[in-house]
Amino acid sequence: MNRTVRLGAVAYLNARPLVHGLSTQPLLSVQFDLPSICAQRLANGEIDLGLIPTIAYLDRPGDRVVPDVAIASDGPVASVALFTRRPMRDVRTIALDTSSRTSVGLARVLCARRFEISPTYVPHAPDLAAMLASCDAALLIGDPALFVDHRALSAEKIDMGVAWTELTGLPFVWAFWAGRPDAADTDVVGRLQAARDAGIAASDAIADAYCPGDAPRQAVARQYLRENIKYDLPPRALDGLRAYYRELAALGLAKTPDDIEFF
């Protein structure tokens, strides 16, 4: 493409391997935001491709997805969790970190299908102590969920990647690159896939640079990028994504798309 492609990426650690080296490439620009803001910037036309929460794709019929690049998990994700001081069966209120609608949608699915409860949901800033002071449980995502010391608050951490895989036997896809059909050509797609490969290879260095001077956090970040986050989008992950969309539709939370369209 002979124009600059504006990329909107998630500001969390888990996105850094996907944008490794992109900011220095010609005709690409990268800005970082919360997942929900990435989706809003894409809707406003402020970016061409957004690393958007997968639920946001349902709002944009006709958009396409960059193939084989994602932020996904197969079992423990570590950075999306429900925190509670009581058994989930006794939870009546959940404070929701609204930074990503995908995680909020998954929390609703898991409460209905996995935990069999119908709590009241309360939007809240991502502050675990304050969330647990006002509600029975809290949904926290991203770096705050990954690095928080929940034991200091006497809270149990329920990994939502684990809960989803136990429910369905499938991976969960949290985010992917998406945009209008004319937003990317084969060159841009190839560069995004190459950036993913380079980022995976450099994951330890990325983790260390993200947590400078903090060896305990660096160890957590290294393990997280190596073991928890998956960056490809194989058929089994797509099956998990379609299952999530079906679950949302069954609860009346979204419409199911005809299928996922790729660049």
Domains and CATH numbers, the chain: 5-70+171-250 (3.40.190.10), 80-168 (3.40.190.10)
The predicted structure's pLDDT at residue 202: 98
Q: What are phi and psi of 176, to 5 degrees?
A: -155, 165
**DSSP character for 98?**
T
In this prediction, residues 92-113 reach a mean pLDDT of 95
Residues across the chain: 263
Predicted local confidence at residue 61, as pLDDT: 86
* Residue 222 pLDDT: 98
pLDDT band at 196 (very low <50, low <70, confident <90, very high): very high
Mean pLDDT of the chain: 95
Residue 200 near residue 17, CB atoms below 8 Å: yes
- Beta strands (DSSP E) in the chain are 5-10, 28-33, 49-53, 64-65, 71-73, 80-84, 93-97, 120-124, 137-141, 156-159, 172-179
Mean pLDDT of 233-245: 97
Cα 39–Cα 141–Cα 92 angle in degrees, nearest 5 = 110
Given a cut of 80, whether residue 257 has pLDDT beyond it is no
Q: How large is the average pLDDT for residues 108-123? A: 98
Where residue 212 falls among pLDDT bands split at 50, 70, 90? very high
1: pLDDT strictly greater than 80: no
- Segment 140-177, tens digit of pLDDT: 999 999 999 999 999 999 999 999 999 999 999 999 99
- What distance in Å separates the CA atoms of residue 40 and residue 8, rounded to the nearest whole number? 10
pLDDT of 127 higher than 80: yes
Distance between CA atoms of residues 79 and 228, nearest Å: 9
pLDDT at position 66 is: 98
Mean pLDDT over residues 200-212, rounded? 98
* Residue 134, H or E segment: helix 128-134
Looking at residue 98, its pLDDT comes to 84
- Residues 118 and 111: their CA atoms lie apart, in Å, by 7
- Helix 215-223 vs helix 203-210: angle between axes, to the nearest 10 degrees? 140
- Cβ atoms within 10 Å, residue 100: 28
pLDDT tens, position by position, 63-81: 999 999 999 999 999 999 9
pTM score of the predicted model: 0.96
Write down the pLDDT at residue 9: 95
Q: Is the pLDDT assigned to residue 23 strictly greater than 90?
A: no
Contact criterion met (CB below 8 Å) for 132 and 138: yes
Model confidence at 108, pLDDT cuts 50, 70, 90, reads: very high
Residue-wise pLDDT for 24-58, tens only, equals 889 999 999 988 899 899 999 999 999 999 999 99
Q: What are phi and psi of 177, to 5 degrees?
A: -75, 130
What is the DSSP-derived secondary structure letter of residue 225?
I
Residue 2 scores a pLDDT above 90: no
CB 14 within 8 A of CB 221: no
* List of residues 6+ apart from 129 with CB closer than 8 A: 153
User: CA 117 to CA 174: how far, in whole Å?
Assistant: 23
Question: Alpha-carbon distance 158 to 161, whole Å?
Answer: 9
Interval 223-247 mean pLDDT = 97
Q: What is the percent of the chain with per-residue pLDDT over 70, rounded to a whole number?
A: 100
What value does the mean pLDDT take over residues 219-224?
98
